[in-house]
Each structure stands twice: as structure tokens, then as C-alpha cells.
Chain A
């Protein structure tokens, strides 16, 4: 792959929900994306079962990123909620959903982040929760800012919240990023566009949702998460 390859490649619906792991516009893939084809494991040899996260995993206020410090963080307070489903549309309960994000100014509370935007003493940017019986999760947070990164000249990430999700089996693992509707940076971002199918890419974008806003208090975004096939890793008990 040469250095003059385009940052964003044209759409290619044949990828479906698969991300292009060796996407050339995202520079760090060059030495990190596996080069050899994956070896397919037959279903009977898939990982079996998966971690179950108990009550001790999540503290009561972990879902509210605005209440982790003495004062309130700066920025636009938002509610982000949705459901975790399997690909048959069935809700996944007790899924562990972990999020992390930049503050309203686009700065992460992380030593590696040197973006010259202020840190917010009232915002750490981490949250977690478990889904209820209908697969629902919900976070209260601050809308993250866009931020620059060193991938190419004048590269900026569209605003996003990082999500890590454990379904009911080890095979139902997902780490991804949730974006906000209508972001003008979408068409310049190689990470977003590494999902080559525009329909699949749209699944990464939350929807503004008036119904889940809280009047006089916060706007709201809805975003459903669909995990893959649990396969033989599902125990019948958890499948009900």
C-alpha cells in the first residue's frame, strides 16, 4: 500500500456488515491488520459459553457520566439509549455495555491525548451498565467533541462514543463506535468509512429521538446494537 492511496475509498456494498480490516486510509492498519487469510473454525469448534457479569460489575451511578465528580461537566447533556439484540431481533439481557469518550472539547482524559483542548475536571468519560430484560441500556453523558488526530493532514474524527459490548457468548463480542446524525466529518473519516457498505455504515449512526429526551433537561439519541450469531456458545437457559 502506497502513501498516496486515498484516505476514503468508494462505497462497496459487498462488504455488508464487515469492516475492511486493512483499510489503507487508516494508516495504523498497515502494520497491524493481519495479512494472511483467516482460518475458518467449524461451528462445533467455536468458543463455547461466555463471561457472565454479575451485580458487582456495575456500580449504581456508572450509567451517568455527569455524576462522577463534585461538579457537573461542561457541554451539552445528552441521554443515549437503545437495545442490544441478536441478529434474530431477540433482546439480549444482562449484556455488559461499556463506553468511553472525549469531553465536550474533544479531549480524552488519557496521558497519550495531547490535543490542546481543556480537560474537564468534572468529566472522566467512562461508563458502564448492563441491559435489562428487554435488552435496554441507557447512559447520561455529555456530547463529545470532534478531535484532531495524526492520521493525515488536518485529520479530524467525527464525534463518537466508544462502545464495548459482551453478549451472551464469547462469540458475541463487539467493540465499536457510535456516531451522531449528520456529522459533516463523516465523508473525510477513514475509520468510519472502513465500513464500506453505506447501509452498514448507517448502523453506526445514532438517531435523534425526541421521545426519550427529558424536557428542560437533556436531548436524546437512540442507538440499537445488533450482535452476531451466538452459535453453540449459547446455553438454553440464557436463550429464553
Chain B
């Protein structure tokens, strides 16, 4: 049997009613010794903040999941601990982007800035042109890791299909 998949539709502007009933952006408790704060901005094709987006983060190595809405500045945030890497791959988070105006959620990857060697060897990162590698590696910023997501433009985030 091969059933046709139910199509996607946008999460719309009011997703917070159903999806933000509690704090879910802490993949580990903030006082976890390995806790890393991840922040970023979700930006549209004009570089303007997307204030009604939602980001989901998945750490496969630790089976940890979380989600964060974006605020008026397009900002989202998570508390994570750096995932363990599978052999030959760099540590990463799998990220979904949802937003009003986005008819299907988009998949991307967040890599960590303090892993230059593992990042250079990662099979996905190393298959991309250098400019695209750079947009998938977060930046160190004030004790946090900063990962901006651009939906369009010269520095558009790389989105993946399965």
C-alpha cells in the first residue's frame, strides 16, 4: 500500500494558541553543566524580522527536542547541550522552521562554531559551497551561540529536502 500523504499548510499567525502553552525551549535545564544558549533571528527576504515564526530543534544524539516561537524582533532562543556527533559527522541540531507565509516547514541544520575540524569533515557541510557552509555554522556571541535564519537573499539559509 502506498497512501498519498496529507499535504502541508501554513502554521498561520495564531499557532501560539495551540503550540505555545508551556515553555518548551529548554532541551536541557539552564543549570545543566553543559548548557549552551542558542539565540537567533528569523529574517525574511527584505532582512526584516519574522515575528510569527516558530523554530523546532532536535538533538538526535540525546533524544532532546524543543521549540521556540519568535518575538517581534524575530528572535528565538533555546537552551541545549552540544549534541554528541556520530562517527565522521560534526555535532549538530536538526532544525525546522515554521511561519505564517511558509506553506511547508523547512529543514536546516545548526552546527557549532567551536568544532572547526569536525565541521570540515562533516559529510553534509563539506558537500556544500563555502558560502553555504558558513550560514549553517552558528557564531559565538556573548556566551551564547548565535544562529540567524534567512528565508531568502544572498545569504539564504540552506534548506534540505528528504
Which residues of chain A have a CB within 8 Å of any CB of chain B? 16-21, 23, 26-36, 38-41, 43, 45-52, 85, 87-89, 98-100, 108-110, 112-113, 124-128, 162, 164, 170-171, 173-177, 191-192, 194-195, 199-201, 203-204, 224-229, 231
Contacts and interface: CB of A to CB of B under 8 A. Distances in A.
B18 A99 contact: yes
Contacts of A45: 123-124
B48 interface: yes
B161 interface: yes
Interface stretch (B9-17, B28-36, B140-148): B9-17
Interface in B125-162: 128, 151-152, 156-162
Interface of A is mostly: loop
A192 B10 CA distance: 10
Interface in B1-53: 1-19, 21, 44-46, 48, 50, 52
B99 interface: yes
B120 interface: no
A87 B2 CA distance: 5
Contacts, number: 198
Interface string B49-83: 01010001010100101000000000000000000
Contacts of A47: 58, 60, 94, 107
A72 B1 CA distance: 43
Contacts of A21: 102-104
Nearest to A161: B18
A153 to B, nearest CB: 19
B18 A100 contact: yes
Given A21-B104, A47-B58, A48-B60, A124 B124 contact: no
Interface residues of B, number: 55
A175 B104 CA distance: 8
Contacts of B10: 26, 175, 177, 191
B6 A203 contact: yes
Contact of A226 (B3, B14, B104): B3
A28 B92 CA distance: 30
B162 A31 contact: no
A14 B135 CA distance: 32
A194 B10 CA distance: 10
B41 to A, nearest CB: 14
